[in-house]
Amino acid sequence: MSTKVAIIGSGNIGTDLMIKVLRLSEHLDIAAMAGIDPGSDGLARARRLKVATTHEGVEGLVRLDEFAGVQFVFDATSAGAHRHHDEVLRALGRTVIDLTPAALGPYVVPPVNLGEHLDAPNVNMVTCGGQATIPIVAAVGAVTPVHYGEIIASISSRSAGPGTRANIDEFTETTASAIEKVGGAARGKAIIVLNPAEPPLIMRDTVHCLVSDVDTEAVTASVEEMVGRVQAYVPGYRLKQKVQFETVAADDPLHRLAPAGEVVKVSVFLEVEGAAHYLPAYAGNLDIMTSAALRTAERIAAHQEALR
């Protein structure tokens, strides 16, 4: 039995997600897409693919006949818009999967904590950088406490649509918070870089974790195992080189971010190649976000079906 879903947002993220649901999911059936730009490519593609559309946002979506059977709604708009969307949809009893950095519901990173939030009415997918890097922070934290976790997400400017650009502050704040709450770091920091290089560069992510006691073989094994778990739904996710370990000098400012004693910096370098369902393969940031949302929806749908 398939679960009917709808998407709000006809930009890059919403359009890629729509294509993924149509091509990849055996358990989800897309009923409608809502946007606010009647001339958007996303709505045009949806119409060509026989998906019901409206350019009147969430208000137009709930008036569509197709909305009656919808159980899940993906929000691929902006943090500010999501607050209104959640209010409308929650009142109608729909489960909301939030791809904006609004963070009204609990953070969900599938290989780390999805099983803890299967009954939540609204789940937040953090950010593309968070989906790529928080699994690594959690993998290091599974071996030894992480005093400080810092991530740098570098994405092509071409892959950053208006919603992403309008939410830079929310990106850094939400990702840093999730590094702590999901990744388990005592303190987190996030940086995003919009790279204007031509030709466009593939998504790259760097993760730095400060730890005290470190078993290099155990940390490496934990990171590699986590990479495999993410690759199960994002095939283009991979390590760029071996996990690096560096003792932090006592006079290095980084040393102040950890308790007294020896401090080791664990560095992990990642690359995320997109599946090119909508934008080209350099847009791994798009792919990891929509893939995580799809994995989350399918898992929640299976959970709800098992309860019936």
Annotated binding site: 10-13, 159-167, 285
- The per-residue pLDDT string of the chain (308 residues; one tens digit each, 9 = 90 and over) reads 699 999 999 999 999 999 999 999 999 999 999 999 999 999 999 999 999 999 999 999 999 999 999 999 999 999 999 999 999 999 999 999 999 999 999 999 999 999 999 999 999 999 999 999 999 999 999 999 999 999 999 999 999 888 788 888 889 999 999 999 999 999 999 999 999 999 999 999 999 999 998 999 999 999 999 999 999 999 999 999 999 999 999 899 998 889 878 999 999 999 999 999 999 999 999 999 999 999 999 999 999 999 88
Distance CA 272, CA 135 (A): 14
pTM of the model: 0.96
Which residues line the annotated binding site for NAD(+)?
10-13, 159-167, 285
181-226 pLDDT tens trace: 999 999 999 999 999 999 999 999 999 999 998 999 999 999 999 9
**What angle is formed at CA 204 by the lines to CA 107 and CA 128, rounded to 5 degrees?**
20
Coil, helix or strand for 80? helix
Q: Are strands 148-156 and 122-124 parallel, antiparallel or unpaired?
A: unpaired
As annotated, the active-site residues are 128
Give residue 265's pLDDT: 97
- Please name the residues in contact with 291: beta carbons below 8 A apart, sequence gap of 6 or more: 20, 233, 234, 275
pLDDT of residue 162: 81
Q: Which domains does the chain have, with CATH numbers?
A: 3-125+288-307 (3.40.50.720), 128-283 (3.30.360.10)
